[in-house]
């Protein structure tokens, strides 16, 4: 799949998270190229349309991924290549820009929001998903977390990019497609969180080494829950211990104990359960059938699995 990224290039560079995401997509086999917009305001973006059109002709992308609402609006001036637009905040929180972003939302084949607050303000009616770019951690953690998160989300992004081709010719009600998208997102998140919890569990029977995430230096939800409630000094201590986990079993044991003692596993389990509840609530909209029963059982399995 060939993906053309359209984003601002006013500072002679792309934002780090855009480059990180592109690298994650390349890692799963996509060919990625960029079109940088040099210009400000609606006039500056529209003036770039001729160059963008030439770039599309030469690169021949399957999908255009535009970052921020104005880039999305620019990319949608052409209608031959589907556009996925990601909204990062300033394009939603500023009223004058929001009006333009809403036009981009209507024209885009799919829309991505990086926070629930942005979704609440924009109030999209269809063709959107919430994919957070990161978590609320200190700056010295955020960059490493972003890289891991984008890598993990890249498969979800690929599915989003492929939706136009996946849906063509299928006789499926649009509301069912949206419901199942939300269901899949919910159980996917629940499964991943439960996987993170099991990595800390002393009784889990996963067949994998215990505390593997800690030994690889990964910050998963049980530890995130603890870090977000720590003082700055405590965070530094825990992150220092994390940096030692690869070669020091005592550092692994220390963090395991902290996560258990401070309720990190319980907090992560509650978060996981909210996604299970969200998934089962979606299934409640459908009549009883063997298929619905199977999906309900899947939700129960994810919540209760220990391997």
Give the pLDDT of the chain (307 residues) as one tens digit per residue.
899 999 999 888 888 878 877 877 787 678 999 999 998 888 889 899 999 999 999 999 989 999 999 999 999 999 899 999 999 888 998 888 999 999 999 999 889 998 888 899 999 988 888 876 533 444 434 444 444 544 555 556 556 555 554 445 545 677 777 788 788 878 888 888 888 899 888 765 555 677 888 888 888 888 888 888 888 778 878 888 888 888 889 999 999 999 999 999 999 899 889 989 999 999 998 889 988 899 999 899 988 887 6
Number of Cβ within a 10 Å radius of residue 195: 18
Q: Which residues contact 161 (CB under 8 A, 6 or more apart)?
A: 1, 3, 62, 63, 65, 84, 110
CA distance 272 to 63: 33
Q: In what order do the strands lie in the sheet with 110-113?
A: 31-37, 2-8, 63-67, 83-87, 110-113, 128-130
Q: pLDDT value at position 145?
A: 41
Ordered by where they begin, the domains of the chain are 2-170 (3.40.50.2000), 186-304 (1.10.600.10)
Q: What pLDDT shows up at residue 159? A: 61
Q: Angle between the 174-200 and 249-261 helix axes, to the nearest 10 degrees? A: 120
Reported as half-sphere exposure (CB side, CA atoms, 13 A), residue 212 has a value of: 11
Q: Cα(238)–Cα(223) distance, rounded to whole angstroms?
A: 9
Inter-axis angle of helices 249-261 and 264-283, nearest 10: 60
CB atoms within 10 A of CB 150: 23
Q: What is the pTM of this model?
A: 0.49
Question: Which DSSP letter does residue 48 get?
Answer: T
Question: Residue 162 corresponds to which tokens in the numbers above?
Answer: 């492929």
Q: Which residue has the tokens 């299928």?
A: 170
pLDDT at 201: 80
């Amino acid at each position: 799949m060939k993906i053309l990224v359209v984003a601002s290039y006013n500072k002679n560079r792309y934002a780090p998270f855009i480059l990180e995401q592109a690298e994650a997509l390349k890692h799963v086999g996509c060919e990625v190229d960029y079109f940088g917009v040099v210009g400000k305001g609606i006039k500056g973006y529209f003036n770039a349309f001729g160059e963008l059109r030439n770039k599309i002709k030469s690169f021949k992308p399957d999908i255009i991924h535009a970052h921020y609402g104005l880039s999305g609006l620019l990319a949608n001036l052409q209608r031959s290549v589907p556009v996925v637009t990601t909204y990062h905040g300033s394009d939603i929180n500023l009223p004058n820009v929001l009006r333009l972003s809403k036009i981009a939302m209507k024209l885009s084949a799919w829309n991505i929001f990086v926070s629930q607050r942005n979704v609440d303000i924009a109030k999209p009616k269809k063709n959107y998903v919430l994919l957070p770019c990161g978590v609320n951690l200190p700056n010295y953690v955020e960059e490493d977390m972003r890289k891991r998160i984008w890598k993990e989300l890249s498969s979800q992004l690929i599915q989003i990019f492929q939706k136009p081709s996946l849906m063509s010719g299928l006789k499926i009600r649009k509301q069912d497609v949206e419901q199942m998208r939300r269901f899949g997102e919910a159980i996917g998140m629940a499964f991943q969180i439960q996987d993170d919890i099991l990595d800390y569990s002393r009784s889990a029977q996963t067949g994998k080494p215990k505390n593997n995430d800690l030994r690889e230096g990964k910050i998963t939800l049980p530890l995130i829950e603890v870090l977000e409630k720590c003082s700055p000094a405590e965070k530094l201590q825990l992150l220092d211990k994390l940096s030692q986990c690869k070669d020091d079993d005592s550092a692994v044991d220390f963090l395991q104990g902290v996560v258990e003692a401070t309720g990190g596993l319980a907090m992560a389990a509650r978060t996981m359960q909210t996604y299970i509840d969200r998934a089962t609530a979606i299934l409640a909209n459908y009549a009883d059938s063997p298929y619905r029963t199977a999906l309900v059982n899947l939700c129960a399995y994810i919540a209760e699995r220990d391997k």
